[in-house]
């Protein structure tokens, strides 16, 4: 379907707004402008639609009530259907999948060449991803991607944590406040260890950039982001962790002066308070299906019953305009009360 549409028309201008149909041959077509994505469906109409060149609306015609005139118009074509547009969430899961084909793990050392693999420019991504440019750019920022030699690359997580470790160790050795990390000194001190562009990229990912009274560029490190990344590093190497042991190791692993809290792990880790002892395991929202039904099936296959607090971080992004997680749960789950707590389970059988 997308292939046929792309052959017939790719770019249209309507009221000076660029509209682009996107999708691979095996994907359902979507229509994008600069910042939004719309689902495309054919809708039938009982009214015959005529295509008339130079057609004018009644308010554009001169007042001819005194002497009515018959206007002859040429008809270029007709249709009994039209494209119906519905705002939808951008389909961005494919973006990280493409970038993970060749993650960036640092510059080549000495005579060593970088490992071969596919690389993508912004134009390449616009061709492959069913989302608007602004939505793609925002997601690139969310996954900590950066542009290297004209190609968008996602950093290998271990390399990203190596960069963050350099920064936090420098902050500790210089006794800086986490809210006052000077860019120039970081680049000067760490430039011999890693490319300066990577050090600055790391600061952009884990801090907020601002300028002080002297015009010096300063970063305020985000405690939640640093602690969350540290937790991911610990959790990715184990199927399950004893919760109390994990919290102890986690607090010891984050930079001194930062506080590790469980609410920092929403959408990253799943707690099981019904087990003895209580456990925690890695469950990243980006690893779950994009489709709403598939997402709920996946979640209920992992756990039969969920409290709203537990499941909410994993369905929040599925909410449409003016839709709440409560409305989503009402539609796709069945509620009951277990030991005085409201829980949700699937409305349909889940294949195991």
Look-up of token digits 């149909």:
21
Q: Which two tokens stand for residue 189?
A: 């001190």
Does residue 212 register a pLDDT over 50?
yes
pLDDT in tens, 242-261: 999 999 999 999 999 999 99
DSSP E strand boundaries for 23-76: 30-32, 37-51
Least confident of 3-17, 62-76, 141-155: 3-17
Question: How far is Cα 122 from Cα 137, in angstroms, rounded to an integer?
Answer: 9
Instruction: Return the domain boundaries, the chain.
Output: 1-53+75-87, 157-221, 240-287, 290-351
**Cα angle value 163/169/170 (rounded, 5°):** 95
Least confident of 2-11, 58-67, 210-219, 314-323: 2-11
Least confident of 108-117, 120-129, 324-333: 108-117
Higher-confidence residue: 194 or 49?
194
Does residue 126 register a pLDDT over 50?
yes
| CATH code of the domain made up of 157-221 | 1.10.10
CB-facing half-sphere around the CA of 235: CA atoms within 13 A = 22
Selection from 31, 14, 11, 13 nearest residue 23 by Cα = 31
pLDDT in tens, 177-187: 999 999 999 99
Does residue 119 register a pLDDT over 50?
yes
Least confident of 31-35, 67-71, 129-133: 67-71
């Amino acid at each position: 379907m997308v292939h046929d549409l792309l052959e017939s028309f790719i770019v249209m201008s309507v009221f000076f707004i660029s509209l682009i149909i996107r999708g691979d041959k095996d994907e359902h077509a979507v229509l994008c402008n600069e910042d939004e994505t719309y689902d495309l469906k054919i809708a039938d109409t009982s009214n015959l639609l005529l295509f008339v060149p130079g057609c004018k609306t009644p308010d554009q015609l001169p007042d001819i009530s005194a002497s009515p005139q018959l206007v002859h118009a040429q008809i270029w074509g007709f249709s009994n259907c039209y494209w119906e547009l519905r705002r939808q969430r951008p389909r961005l899961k494919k973006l990280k999948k493409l970038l993970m084909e060749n993650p960036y793990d640092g510059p080549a050392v000495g005579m060593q060449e970088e490992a071969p693999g596919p690389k993508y420019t912004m134009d390449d991504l616009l061709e492959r991803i069913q989302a608007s440019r602004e939505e793609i750019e925002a997601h690139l920022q969310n996954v900590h991607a950066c542009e290297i030699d004209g190609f968008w690359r996602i950093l290998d997580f271990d390399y990203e944590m190596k960069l963050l470790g350099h920064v936090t160790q420098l902050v500790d050795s210089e006794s800086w406040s986490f809210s006052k990390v000077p860019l120039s000194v970081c680049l000067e001190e760490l430039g011999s260890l890693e490319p300066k562009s990577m050090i600055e990229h790391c600061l952009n990912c884990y801090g907020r950039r601002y300028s002080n009274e002297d015009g010096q560029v300063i970063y305020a490190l985000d405690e939640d982001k640093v602690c969350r990344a540290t937790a991911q590093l610990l959790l990715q190497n184990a199927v399950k962790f004893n919760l109390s042991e994990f919290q102890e190791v986690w607090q010891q692993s984050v930079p001194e002066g930062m506080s590790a809290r469980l609410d920092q792990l929403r959408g990253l880790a799943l707690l099981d308070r019904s087990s003895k002892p209580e456990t925690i395991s890695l469950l990243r929202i980006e690893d779950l299906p994009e489709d709403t039904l598939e997402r709920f099936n996946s979640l209920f296959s992992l756990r039969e019953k969920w409290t709203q607090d537990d499941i909410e971080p994993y369905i929040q992004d599925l909410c449409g305009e003016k839709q709440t997680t409560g409305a989503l749960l009402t539609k796709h789950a069945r509620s009951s009360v277990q030991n005085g707590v409201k829980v949700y389970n699937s409305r349909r059988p889940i294949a195991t």
